[in-house]
Amino acid sequence: MSTDNGAGGAGVAPVGEDTAVVSPGAPGGSGTSTAARLQALFEGHRLTPTQRRIAHCMVRRAADAPFLSSVELAELAGVSQPSVTRFAVALGFDGYPALRKHLRDVAPAGPEADKGSYNEYQQAVLAEIDNLRHLAALLADPAPVVRAGRLLAASRPLPVLGLRAASAQAGGFTYFARKVHPDVRLLDEGGTMLADRVDAAQRAGATALLCFALPRHPREVVEGLEYARGVGLTVVTVADSAFAPVARHSDLLLPAAVGTGLAFDTACSPMLLGRVLLEAMCDALPDAQARLEEFDAKAAERGLFVE
């Protein structure tokens, strides 16, 4: 149920015109989830916006995807049934039945197939475990995260954008980043002021912007990223999918799937990826350790934390 609150090796592959994303390894590898298999199937294909919408829907409904009819998939994705057929042909299949047969043939037969024996709360936890395994597979190639860390470390100030469902991710990143980065600015309010705050950061010397983008994707986030790139900022985005609406307005997109089994989406993977980015940024900041030690010393002097 999608609501306002959230609905192998790896490499870098183009999506849209000039966006780089972390792509999953080849399907069939040990521990690879259905979502990872789908992502791997879609990689390397130039998809239209409508086709990316279908692909995004299939990734979000990965467990159901091999069993959906073309009509059901079209309704879920909000597109026409012929669009689903054209999507299957774009992927190299004779039609949608051939695509569905392929998905059924490669569907995992292990614990993932036995989830029907668990209650809905357990299934939500197991789905998040799958998302974390997928993230671990993506991080087998650390180069995109290392690149992102360097971009974030070099930006002074560093604006961090996250609205609505993603505000918690942006706020958590900002809280810790301020301990090692000299100037981190949280952008957690949209509206007409967002462009002003992006302008202020750019005038102060910002060269990059970090965005956390989760479903449902607010229009003002998409427009904000488009504006940020327009004024010359390099946009690094953590999103739920490489096919998310923010992809076309991101220079480097790092996907981390969200869980959709509960009334409100769960975002363990995006949160963890945010911490990984923090680590990469610390590695790129020569004085990060000194700043942490200084903070710890002052915290002890003030009795900030209870032992």
Which band of pLDDT confidence, cut at 50, 70 and 90, is reported for residue 86?
very high
92: left (phi over 0), alpha (psi -120 to 50) or beta: left
What are 32-75's pLDDT values in tens digits?
A: 467 778 888 887 788 888 898 898 888 888 878 888 888 889 98
Greater confidence (218 vs 27) lies with: 218
Specify which residues 186 forms β-bridges with. Answer: 160
Taking a C-beta distance cutoff of 8 angstroms, is the pair 188, 167 a contact? yes
Gap between the Cα atoms of 199 and 197, Å rounded = 5
CB 261 within 8 A of CB 127: yes
The owner of tokens 């149920």 is 1
The total of other beta-carbon atoms located within 10 Å of residue 278's CB is 20
CB hemisphere CA count around 75 (13 angstroms): 4
Q: Going edge to edge, which strands form the sheet with 234-239?
A: 11-15, 19-23, 252-255, 234-239, 208-213, 158-161, 184-187
Give the pLDDT mean for 83-92.
92
Whats the size of the chain, residue-wise?
307
Buried b (16+ CB within 10 A) or exposed e, 24-41: bbebeeeebbbbbbbbbb
Burial (CB count <10 Å: 0-12, 13-18, 19+), residue 50:
middle
State the pLDDT confidence band at 19, using cuts at 50, 70 and 90: low
Residue 252's Cα: distance from chain center in Å? 11
Closest CA to 242 of 79, 58, 28, 27: 58
Of the given ranges (15-19, 110-114, 236-240), which has the lowest mean pLDDT?
Answer: 15-19
* Range with the largest mean pLDDT of 133-142, 203-212, 261-270, 297-306: 203-212
Distance separating alpha carbons of residues 50 and 64, to the nearest angstrom: 20
Task: Write the pLDDT tens digit of every residue in 180-196.
Answer: 999 999 999 998 899 99
Of 163 and 123, more confident: 163
Q: pTM for the full model?
A: 0.72
- Picking from 61, 31, 67, the residue whose alpha carbon sits closest to that of residue 241 is 61
DSSP alpha helix (H) spans, the chain = 34-42, 49-60, 70-77, 81-90, 96-106, 120-138, 143-154, 167-177, 193-203, 219-230, 268-284, 288-302
Res. 28 pLDDT band, cuts 50 70 90 = very low
User: What is the identity of the amino acid at 57?
Assistant: C
pLDDT of 179 reads 96
Q: How much is the average pLDDT of 22-39?
A: 54
| pLDDT at residue 124 tops 70 | yes
pLDDT higher than 60, residue 299: yes
Domains along the chain with CATH numbers = 28-134 (1.10.10.10), 143-299 (3.40.50.10490)
Please, what is the average pLDDT of the chain? 86
pLDDT digits (tens, 9 = 90+) for 139-159: 999 999 999 999 999 999 999
pLDDT tens per residue, range 204-256: 999 999 999 999 899 999 999 999 999 999 999 999 988 899 999 999 999 99
Residue with the bigger pLDDT between 164 and 14: it is 164
